[in-house]
């Protein structure tokens, strides 16, 4: 099963991808996480991408596509994978289509006002990447509880230190939303025209959202007669 999570910054791509990855036992590939690892390890790629990432702009397609191709050619991707944050431009989607078929695209929707609040309240474990949230959203039908760690500033899973990403501040989040609108949103029509896309409104806690997403994948799979193993 090859899936793509499409959605603006702060929409929950990382959280849902990581849960569905453990459910299906297929790798969760986040280009943002791969780039952050390059920054942390101060690699050659890390030096080339730093300015783009810190300013909320996209990393150039050539670097991104090359890195992604390397990742999905590895053995653990043979049974499928979940792409989180790739593709983000039409040329990226076209390159991806040349090397693999995609079964389902989940398109996450949430208002910019809530996205800004959520991105600024995000905390990430610097060791295992687990994601937490320091705010609760309760707005009309949108009811998203905070995802607080048991011990302040520490990851529940590995006890690593929780950090705020450098690009999770209001000004950079607004820049990333603009980038999303201009460069990534055209992918919604790109995949809609292929009949692969399922729109999901983000409203509830991750457990409820994940079950809605699994349901949506199932109905798309039935429609297109894809074979999917639902066993955990
Ligand atoms: P978010 O979806 O919250 O913006 P990500 O972790 O997916 O966060 O991405 C963080 C940054 O990494 C982006 O702002 C961009 O600079 C870079 N990046 C990630 N994926 C891509 C991609 N597919 N193409 C270009 N740049 C990317
Ligand atoms: Zn951790």
Distance CA 1, CA 78 (A): 10
Q: Looking at the domain assignment, is residue 183 inside a domain?
A: yes
Q: Is 203 a catalytic residue?
A: no
What pLDDT, on the 0 to 100 scale, is given for residue 218? 87
* Catalytic residue from among 2, 3, 36, 122: 122
Ligand nearest to the CA of 132: 2
Distance (Å, whole) CA 31 – CA 184: 14
Evaluate whether residue 131 is within a structural domain.
Answer: no
Q: Which domain holds residue 219?
A: 2-110+174-223
For the chain, the domain total comes to: 1
Q: What is the pLDDT of residue 194?
A: 83
- Has residue 155 been placed in a domain? no
Residue in 120, 173, 131 with CA at minimum distance from that of residue 155:
131
Ligand nearest to the CA of 129: 2
Question: Could you tell me the CATH number of the domain that includes residue 210?
Answer: 3.40.50.300
Under-50 pLDDT residues of the chain: 231-232
CA distances from 79 to 76, 99, 214 (A): 7, 15, 18
The residue annotated as part of the active site, out of 3, 88, 117, 118, is: 88
Q: How far apart are CA 100 and CA 88, in angstroms?
A: 16
Q: Which atom of ligand 1 is nearest to the CA of 53?
A: 16
User: 48 lies in a domain?
Assistant: yes
- 18 CA to middle of ligand 2, Å? 13
Q: Is the model's pTM score more than 0.95? A: no
* 13 is an active site residue: yes
Could you check whether the bond before residue 87 is cis, i.e. omega within 30 degrees of 0?
yes
């Amino acid at each position: 099963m090859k899936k793509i999570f499409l959605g603006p910054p702060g929409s929950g791509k990382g959280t849902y991808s990581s849960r569905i990855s453990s459910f299906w036992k297929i790798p969760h590939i986040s280009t943002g996480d791969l780039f952050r690892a390059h920054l942390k390890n101060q690699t050659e790629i890390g030096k080339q991408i730093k300015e783009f990432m810190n300013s909320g702009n996209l990393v150039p397609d050539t670097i991104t596509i090359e890195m992604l191709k390397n990742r999905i050619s590895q053995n653990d991707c043979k049974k499928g994978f979940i792409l989180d944050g790739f593709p983000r431009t039409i040329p990226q989607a076209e390159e991806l289509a040349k090397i693999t078929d995609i079964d389902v695209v989940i398109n996450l929707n949430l208002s910019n006002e809530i996205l800004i609040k959520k991105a600024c309240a995000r905390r990430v474990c610097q060791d295992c990447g687990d994601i937490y949230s320091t705010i609760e959203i309760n707005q009309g039908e949108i009811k998203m509880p905070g995802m607080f760690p048991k011990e302040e500033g520490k990851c529940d899973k590995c006890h690593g230190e929780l950090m705020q990403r450098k690009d999770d501040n209001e000004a950079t989040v607004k820049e990333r939303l603009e980038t999303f609108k201009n460069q990534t949103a055209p992918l919604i029509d790109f995949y809609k025209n292929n009949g692969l896309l399922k729109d999901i409104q983000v409203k509830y806690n991750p457990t409820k959202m994940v079950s809605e997403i699994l349901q949506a994948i199932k109905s798309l799979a039935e429609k297109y007669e894809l074979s999917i193993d639902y066993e955990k």
